[in-house]
Chain A
Amino acid sequence: MLSTHDLTAFYGDFQALFGIDLEVDAGEIVAIIGANGAGKSTLLKAITGLVPTHSEAVRFMGEAIGGRPAHRILSLGVAMVPEGRRLFPSLTVEENLQLGAYRKRAGPWTLERVYDLFPALREKRRMPSTALSGGQQQMAAIGRALMANPKLLICDEMSLGLAPIVIKSVYDVLPAVVAQGISLLIVEQDVGLAMRVSQRLYCLQEGRVALAGRSQALSREQVSVAYFGI
């Protein structure tokens, strides 16, 4: 479904990614882990079109999409739940969700469906998005991305700033999402959580893939070595 080939990315003269190869197949949950500065955010920005890269470096559903503008990539079926939620403060909860459907992609996800998944949002639909708690904002951000009816959902650091019990309730929702036929690419700070939730994972270190494999098959030690680069 999604594959990157020798993906490189630069911020001006500074090279952030040095040839990343990764794959997400249909129906999979793939996790990306790595220390701060390892290149995780840059990788997601390159995939979603916020950072330029070579056209062939990113392929989605057979098409070379590298370097295309972000709004086009959304139209193709790649939606992101951004780090820090980034809900729009001028919009109500419902308007945030409606904006997710801006491109009117066909699919099963509607406002009602999203409210069924996140009942807490239904009560607060007309409130400004800033009135939500951290966990509710995360759910709204997921709902907003789902409204785009993506084929691939990218979740960036969802556990940031949330209490463990809230993190659990957020991640508990994911199986229902995958069951509808959406693949997941997750970036997570919490290594244990990433390994539990995903089928395969990649560990980035200083802009390179230091480790890749089936989450169940990797040992904690292998991961530590790759994570810290010792």
Chain B
Amino acid sequence: MSGWLDTIIQGVLLGGLYALFAMGLSLIFGVMRLVNIAHGDLIVLAAYLALVVVNATGLNPLAALAICVPAMFLIGYVLQRGLLNFTLGGDILPPLLVTFGLSIIIQNALLQGFSADPRALRLGGFETESFHLGAGIAVGYLPLLVLGVAIALAFALELLFARIPLGRAFRATSDDPEAAQLMGVNDRHVYGLAMGIALGIVAVAAVFYGIRTTFAPTDGPDRLLFAFEAVIIGGLGSFWGTLAGGIVLGVAQTVGFRLDPGWGVLTGHLAFLVVLLFRPTGLFPRTRG
């Protein structure tokens, strides 16, 4: 019995990481309904960025966030205003294709620059420390921290959307970009900020990802799929939903893995498809108007 409890607890903790992957994607879906195929590759890019910063400055990876988050924010803003803004406007093909192109470019550029060898970010041992809950269940400090950050982020994003003027601007622009412009909202700039914030979150996710496991240039697509599944399972329009979706995905994967080591990822995909078949709007969707 404790074996299954352990599996579920580890699944919840894994879900925290998946929720981190998914938060940025959820934000972008919510503000501009853009499906960014390169999202996973941007996570990997941010991990390599953190690696470069760590090697250049000797900072530990978490401290390197002070540089990585603003850097990724800037990259996101420029990417949105310089390229992705021109793909928005109704037709789904342009943003899909351009972000697909970006995905291929990033993967192969990283391959050229860093080779296919897996890399890791090190925290000097903290990454393996854990405490015991009794009954043989060990809870790692790092995964717990990740879950905590995911919860804090969900809370912060909900607050952002609900309370502050920028959050209102996000929701208004998502509803009706033209009417928002008439109210003085610069939609080009708002989209840029949204992508900037999303990539800032990606930087956080990337550092924890790089500490928790090794990473390589071609890891992007799988991260995208997990992030996407977490958002859809949780339901569009709600960051708490995304958190829940990540946790459901994490648990599905650990349960599957326990049944058979080859099944981990597959069970996650199947859980996604099941939700799609029986609750297509997700588990906790927020209906909009």
Which residues on A are within 8 Å of B, measured CB to CB?
A: 48-50, 69-71, 74-75, 79-80, 82, 86, 88-91, 95, 98-100, 102-103, 128-130, 144, 148
Q: Which residues of A contact B175 (CB under 8 A)?
A: 88-91
Query: Nearest-CB distance from B156 to chain A (Å)?
Result: 19
Q: Which residues of A contact B179 (CB under 8 A)?
A: 82, 86, 88
Chain A binder among B1-9, B182-190, B211-219: B182-190
Could you tell me if B182 and A90 are in contact, using CB atoms closer than 8 angstroms? no
Could you tell me if A99 and B169 are in contact, using CB atoms closer than 8 angstroms? yes
Count of A-B residue pairs with CB < 8 Å = 72
Secondary structure type dominating chain B contacts: helix
Using A88-B176, A128-B289 as known contacts, say yes or no to A144 and B168 having CB atoms under 8 A apart: no
Query: Nearest-CB distance from B191 to chain A (Å)?
Result: 13
Could you tell me if B181 and A71 are in contact, using CB atoms closer than 8 angstroms? yes
Task: Report the nearest A residue to B172, measured CB to CB.
Answer: A88
16 contacts between A and B (CB under 8 A): A69-B186, A70-B178, A80-B182, A86-B176, A86-B179, A88-B175, A91-B175, A95-B171, A99-B168, A99-B185, A102-B165, A102-B168, A102-B169, A102-B185, A130-B289, A148-B184
| B 266-289 contacts with A by CB, 8 A | 288-289
Which residues on B are within 8 Å of A, measured CB to CB?
A: 165, 168-169, 171-172, 174-176, 178-187, 288-289
Q: State A144–B176 Cα separation when bound (angstroms).
A: 15
Could you tell me if B181 and A102 are in contact, using CB atoms closer than 8 angstroms? no
Could you tell me if B171 and A91 are in contact, using CB atoms closer than 8 angstroms? yes
Query: Nearest-CB distance from A69 to chain B (Å)?
Result: 7
Q: State A71–B178 Cα separation when bound (angstroms).
A: 10
Q: Which residues of A contact B289 (CB under 8 A)?
A: 88-90, 128-130
Q: Which residues of A contact B187 (CB under 8 A)?
A: 71
Given A71-B184, A74-B183, A102-B168; 17 other pairs, CB 8 A cutoff: A50-B181, A71-B185, A74-B181, A74-B184, A82-B179, A86-B179, A88-B176, A88-B179, A90-B174, A90-B175, A99-B165, A99-B168, A99-B172, A99-B183, A102-B165, A102-B183, A130-B289
Could you tell me if A148 and B183 are in contact, using CB atoms closer than 8 angstroms? yes
Among all A-B residue pairs, the 7 with the closest Cβ atoms:
A89-B289, A74-B184, A103-B184, A70-B181, A86-B179, A90-B171, A88-B175
Query: Nearest-CB distance from A87 to chain B (Å)?
Result: 8
Q: Which residues of B contact A74 (CB under 8 A)?
A: 181-184
Of the candidates B168, B178, B179, the one having the most CB atoms from chain A within 10 angstroms of its own CB is B179
Q: State A102–B172 Cα separation when bound (angstroms).
A: 11
Q: Which residues of B contact A80 (CB under 8 A)?
A: 182
Q: State A148–B180 Cα separation when bound (angstroms).
A: 12
Could you tell me if B184 and A91 are in contact, using CB atoms closer than 8 angstroms? no
Q: State A69–B176 Cα separation when bound (angstroms).
A: 16
Of the candidates B176, B179, B183, the one having the most CB atoms from chain A within 10 angstroms of its own CB is B183
